[in-house]
Structure 1
Amino acid sequence: MYHAHFGLRESPFHITPNPAFFYAGNERGDILEAMLYAIGHGEGIIKVTGEVGAGKTMLCRMLESRMPPHIDMIYLVHPNLDPLEVQHAIAAELGLSTHGLRADEVQRALHAELIARHSAGRQVVLLVEEAQAMPLDTLEAIRLLSNLETARSKLLQIVLFGQPELDDNLNLSSMRQLKERITHSFAVPAMAPALTGDFLAHRLRAAGHEDGALFTPAAARLIAEASEGIVRRINILAEKSLLAAFAADADVVEARHARQAIAESPFGRRRGLQGRRRWRVVALSAALALLIAGIYWSILAAGANL
């Protein structure tokens, strides 16, 4: 509804990952290039971790969009699979029919298909999303798939995307073999506060705005603080701020619009409540300190009068 008002051709802050809006700053471009290099050289298992909403799925989509034509990308998006189910799922992604096959038969079918693709000059890359939620024995089954190789290269390249809990799982002694197969680990950082304004401007330009200068520095600072650098939260707050500015018939998003957006957001309210609680604790501590000091000086004064 506000597109024409702000000179936009589409909404700039959708939370659905769209490669057209990829922001290469804050290490994201460097991580993407390193992942492309690692996949291109067939170097072991790659791990990408980050908090919820940090931008892992966007990196996954960018990886897909940048893959050369000879690479076949397959996905595991449902983590709650047992070891046999995960083999069937991978086989289905490769176009194989495995109905009624035993586990060893599925493995042989997978191996044969991967060898055939390798002989045809193709490379297969498996992208595993929400890997932190996978059962440990399923992760181990995926590790065993990474053993499939020729004398010179892996038949299946694996990229694990997950929340920081994935590292907790990999640190278990039972997971040490999988952990040792990981040759590249990347952590998607929270958005640096100083870059939030640039991130907002980049998204606005990608959506058609002439120069991206819609958020005042004060508004960007408020969004950076309230979002704690989580990209999904930044997008949610920016969208709400644009709506608030549009409703006020303003030409730019000012601090007052950002405050309104923060007040209407669940995490913004939670942060405000935590802030109020901290101030209450500080005030109570100060009052208690004054009371103790008063008692102490009263005792001293009474002693001096004896």
Structure 2
Amino acid sequence: MSLYLEHFGLREPPFRITPDTDYFFTGANRGPTLDALIYAITQDEGIVKVTGEVGSGKTMLCRMLLERLPGNVETLYLANPSLSRDEILGAIADELGISIEGKATHSLMRALQDALIERYAEGKRVVLLIDEAHAMPAESLEELRLLSNLESKANKLLQIALFAQPELDERLAATDMRQLRERITQHFILAPLKPEDIGAYIDFRLRTAGYHGPQPFTPKALAQIANASQGLSRRINILADKALLAAFSTGSHQVDSAEIKIAEQDARFTPLQPKSPAIARQTLLGAIVGALLVAALGCLALFALPKTSPPPPSVEPASTAGKTSEEKAPPAPVSSDTPGKPVFGPLTRQHMGQFDTWIVNAPRTHYFIQLHATDAVRTGEIEGVVAQATSALDPSLLRVYRSSRSGRDRVGVVYGDYPSREAAAAAMQSLPESIRAIQPFPRQVSKLR
């Protein structure tokens, strides 16, 4: 735990390098990129690729995508891409609940296709998100091409999104990768933050962590961070954290040049390797095209809805025994594009009340299970998730909160109260399959205060 929290009036460390979606910075084109990425994944028929340098925020963007995709989208997440072709298929089958025992590759592919067709018939869309995709073996990359062939008469059954370092572009430039390369229809580049954005980024993270004072970093300090970090958010976090610690050690509430120099010496960053001329030209072209895509798709995301928006499959409880009339027959959820102030459904309001009662006495060190989080305007999606969770879990332990800590009006659905992360993780293993399919994860109560 950082030593300077009380000194600067912070609730929690503002510059952790582990991705926390409460700290997603929507400035510097990050927010529009996320919106365009969501639109591309839910509307497009090809493979989507996101590239960026180490520490540029790709994993954070991927985590935000997991939170923000519509309720009818089922996500399969592979964090370990260094898997063989058979292991990739096995991992996907496991996520879809398909037994692989005794199945040859062709039989497994048929089983995968059948499972995807079944979900397609239910109005679901399945998306495979692969982090660190540049580390995938050649045979596994080829398997992705084959998986992208799975389709119904009119639609792809599996959407694929790759998150990778620029080395993936070099691999895809090889002649034997041309078939996969041509399947990639959308390219996004997560560029480093510009010097003029770094002050806003640091200020956002400080405010999210509970800071209320004036900007502690002087303009000279911010310029030094921009130069030393080369705009990479992970490096910015490391430098800012070390600089605050240096200021704390001298009793100062301001971070200036001297503190940044100490942070630089301690961090010992190595300069980024220059790209080859061919890759540099490709990156520049990709950045230009990506910026145009973000602008165009971002506009489409604002004004267009998905072609098909079926409600979540389990919106109505399987059994209504013992439930109130309000729970038995929830009215049709309010549309997620409702303008103005969000109007929440009755189940959402009920469990918001349960959250307000619980949070007053919940110990900060306790944990809960995060089931879902999305923008507050998606009231129909929220009501559907709450209804599904109500039918599968103990309703008395289900709660809904509303927060603007990330800079956006957000609503989260959470479950349970556990004394430790280990207890929460153990409880997750006993959740019904329908709930585990939405990829819940443990969080600490302190994150909500």
- What TM bracket, shorter-length normalisation? 0.7 to 0.9
Q: Residue 182 of structure 1 corresponds to which residue in structure 2?
A: 184
Query: What is the aligned-residue RMSD (CA, Å)?
Result: 1.3
* CA positional deviation for 1:258: 1.2
Aligned counterpart for 2:123 among listed residues 116, 121, 124? 121
Q: Deviating runs (4+, > 3 A) in structure 1?
A: none
Q: Does the CA contact (< 8 Å) of 1:202 and 1:212 recur in 2?
A: no
Structure 2 matches for 1:1-306, cutoff 5 A? Answer: 1-210=3-212, 213-267=215-269
Letter matched to residue 122 of structure 1: K
Q: Distance in 2 between matches of 1:245 and 1:14?
A: 18
Cα deviation code 1:171-219 (max 9, x no counterpart): 1111111111111101110111121111100111111112561211111
Q: What stretches of structure 1 of length at least 5 have no aligned partner?
A: 272-306
3-state SS in 2 of match to 1:153:
coil
* CA positional deviation for 1:243: 0.5
Q: Distance in 1 between matches of 2:263 and 2:171?
A: 37
Q: Distance in 2 between matches of 1:148 and 1:59?
A: 26
* Count of residue pairs the alignment pairs up: 269
* CA positional deviation for 1:43: 2.9
Q: Distance in 2 between matches of 1:101 and 1:239?
A: 51
Letter matched to residue 238 of structure 1: A
Letter matched to residue 87 of structure 1: L
Letter matched to residue 90 of structure 1: I
Q: Does the CA contact (< 8 Å) of 1:205 and 1:212 recur in 2?
A: no
Task: Report the TM-score, using the length of structure 1 for normalisation.
Answer: 0.85
Q: Which moved more, 1:62-71 or 1:78-87?
A: 78-87
Letter matched to residue 35 of structure 2: E
* CA positional deviation for 1:99: 2.0
Q: Distance in 2 between matches of 1:212 and 1:50?
A: 32
Q: Does the CA contact (< 8 Å) of 1:36 and 1:67 recur in 2?
A: yes
* CA positional deviation for 1:30: 2.0
3-state SS in 2 of match to 1:25:
coil
Q: Which moved more, 1:22-31 or 1:132-141?
A: 22-31
The structure with the greater share of residues assigned to helix is 1
Q: What stretches of structure 2 of length at least 5 have no aligned partner?
A: 272-449
3-state SS in 1 of match to 2:149:
coil
Which structure has more RCO (C-alpha within 8 Å, separation ≥ 6)? Answer: 1
Letter matched to residue 72 of structure 1: E
Q: Distance in 2 between matches of 1:206 and 1:153?
A: 41
* CA positional deviation for 1:266: 1.5
3-state SS in 2 of match to 1:264:
helix
Letter matched to residue 225 of structure 2: I
3-state SS in 2 of match to 1:78:
coil
* CA positional deviation for 1:27: 2.2
Letter matched to residue 83 of structure 1: R
Q: Distance in 1 between matches of 2:7 and 2:115?
A: 54
| % identity of equivalent residues | 50
Q: Which moved more, 1:192-201 or 1:74-83?
A: 74-83
3-state SS in 1 of match to 2:74:
strand
Q: Distance in 1 between matches of 2:200 and 2:76?
A: 33
Q: Distance in 1 between matches of 2:259 and 2:7?
A: 16
Q: Residue 281 of structure 1 corresponds to which residue in structure 2?
A: none
Letter matched to residue 183 of structure 1: T
Letter matched to residue 242 of structure 2: K
* CA positional deviation for 1:97: 1.6
Letter matched to residue 157 of structure 1: Q
Flag the structure with larger Rg: 1
Are the structure 2 counterparts of residues 240 and 144 from structure 1 closer, same or farther at C-alpha, using a change threshold of 3 Å? same
Letter matched to residue 251 of structure 1: H
Q: Residue 295 of structure 1 corresponds to which residue in structure 2?
A: none
Task: Report the TM-score, using the length of structure 2 for normalisation.
Answer: 0.58
